[in-house]
């Protein structure tokens, strides 16, 4: 097998990770904790937990799809996590109608005739599944698909904002903050849509999850978005984008097809052609602001190098965190 530059960097990071003691003097303490996404394991959440346990990751963030088999018995899943020493950071709704493979779940946020079902489904998900864990303080959620024709009007953003306000008002009564996640290929993806949405949502009921890659792919500076909406940021996703997109002001992904949601455009923190995101600056900003929440390595199957595994992919990203940002997620 030919050793590419990308695979060499990843394998080097894995080797460094394996040999670096958590008590290294180079490690800088941070106020936040790290989680990893379970999306690439589909419904095999048990294997995702085993991987996190082996890597000594503090937290995990599954999608609703990942936990289909535990929707009526969340405490059974909590027991598995407790035994592994892992906390659920949040659980995503998925992002599109019917995203759950076994059960219907409405994700339409732009059609006023359908948002009542969306509101009901999301409140129920928080009440029946997220709330019983007792340790999850926010609901990271995607804003659903874009309408037919792709373009989103301000009126449709207003419908979405009204629905989010309604959901957030009820989930806050359950002790869970609503934290939407701008996402390329989804209803809220570019700077105009993000800023219009944030203006129209009530800061008492709606917060924000900032994904460094999705914001970059959507033509935004993720650090600037964090600064502008800092009081409302409750979770941050770390993943990179192509270096050529640093400073881009336009949506990078195509309007349709498998790449419209970012697949093929995401980069691992240690990828040779990454660098679209200024992680040292963002990381220092979070430290300076004493960010108390979760930072999630939001990695999906499209980011696994050919012939590799998600466990190896996470290790490579951990190597970057340790060697470049001087933080060891296993110790915070």
For the chain, give the secondary structure using H, E and C: CCCCHHHHHHHHHHHHHHHCCCCCCCCCCCCCEEEEECHHHCCCHHHHHHHHHHHCCCEEECEHHHHHHHCCCHHHHHHHHHHHCCEECCCECCCCCCCCCCCCCCCCCCCCCCHHHHHHHHHHHHHHHHHHHCCCCEEEECCCECCCCCCCCHHHHHHHHHHHHHHHHHHHHCCCEEEECCCCCECCCCHHHHHHHHHHCCCCCECEEEEHHHHHHCCCCHHHHHHHCHHHEEEEEECECCHHHCCCCCCCCCCCCCCCCCCCCCECCCCCCCCCCCHHHHHHHHHHCCCCCEEEECCCHHHCCCCCCHHHHHHHHHHHHHHCCCCCHHHC
Tell me whether residue 152 is exposed, middle or buried, using C-beta atoms within 10 angstroms of its C-beta: 0 to 12, 13 to 18, 19 or more: buried
Residue range 264-273, pLDDT digits in tens? 999 999 999 9
Structure tokens at 185: 């290929």
Given a contact cutoff of 8 angstroms between Cβ atoms, the answer to whether 227 and 285 are in contact is: yes
Residue in the structure block whose two tokens are 């129920």: 124
| pTM beyond 0.85, yes or no | yes
- Domain positions in the chain are 27-331
Q: Token pair 């998900």 is at which residue? A: 125
Question: In angstroms, rounded to a whole number, what is the distance separating the alpha carbons of residues 159 and 142?
Answer: 15
The predicted pLDDT at position 104 comes to 79
Residue-level pLDDT, tens digit, the chain, 332 residues: 333 334 434 444 444 454 444 445 589 999 999 999 999 999 999 999 999 999 999 999 999 999 999 999 999 999 999 999 999 999 999 844 444 444 579 999 999 999 999 999 999 999 999 999 999 999 999 999 999 999 999 999 999 999 999 999 999 999 999 999 999 999 999 999 999 999 999 999 999 999 999 999 999 999 999 999 999 999 999 999 999 999 999 999 999 999 999 999 999 999 999 999 999 999 999 999 999 999 999 999 999 999 999 999 999 999 999 999 999 999 88
Q: Which fold has domain 27-331?
A: TIM Barrel (3.20.20)
Q: How much is the pLDDT for 76?
A: 98
Would you state the pLDDT for residue 4?
A: 39
- Rounded to 5 degrees, φ, ψ at 295 are -110, 120
| pLDDT at 332 (0 to 100) | 82
């Amino acid at each position: 097998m030919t050793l590419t530059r990308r695979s060499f960097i990843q394998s080097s990071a894995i080797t460094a990770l394996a040999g670096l003691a958590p008590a290294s003097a180079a490690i800088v303490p941070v106020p936040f904790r790290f989680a990893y996404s379970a999306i690439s394991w589909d419904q095999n959440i048990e294997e995702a937990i085993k991987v996190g346990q082996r890597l000594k990751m503090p937290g995990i963030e599954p999608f609703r799809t990942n936990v289909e088999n535990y929707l009526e018995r969340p405490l059974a899943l909590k027991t598995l996590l407790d035994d592994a020493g892992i906390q659920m950071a949040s659980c995503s709704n998925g992002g599109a109608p019917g995203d759950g493979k076994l059960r219907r779940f409405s994700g339409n946020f732009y059609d006023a005739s359908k948002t009542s079902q969306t509101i009901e489904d999301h409140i129920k998900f928080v009440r029946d599944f997220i709330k019983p864990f007792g340790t999850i303080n926010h609901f990271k959620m995607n804003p659903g698909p874009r309408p037919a024709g792709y373009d989103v009007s301000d009126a449709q953003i207003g419908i979405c904002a009204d629905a989010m306000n309604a959901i957030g008002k009820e989930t806050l009564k359950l002790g869970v903050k609503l934290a939407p996640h701008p996402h390329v290929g989804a209803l809220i993806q570019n700077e105009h849509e993000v800023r219009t949405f944030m203006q129209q949502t009530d800061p008492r009921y709606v917060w924000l999850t900032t994904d460094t890659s999705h914001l970059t792919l959507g033509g935004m500076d993720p650090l600037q978005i964090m600064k502008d909406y800092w009081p409302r940021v409750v979770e941050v996703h770390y993943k990179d984008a192509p270096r050529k997109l640093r400073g881009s002001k336009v949506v990078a992904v195509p309007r349709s097809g498998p790449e419209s949601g970012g697949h093929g455009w995401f980069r691992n923190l240690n990828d040779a052609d990454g660098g679209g995101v200024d992680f040292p600056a963002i990381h220092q900003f979070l430290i300076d602001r004493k960010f108390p929440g979760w930072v999630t390595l939001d990695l999906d199957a499209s980011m696994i190098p050919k012939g590799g595994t998600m466990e190896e992919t996470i290790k490579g990203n951990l190597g970057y965190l340790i060697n470049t940002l001087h933080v060891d997620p296993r110790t915070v």
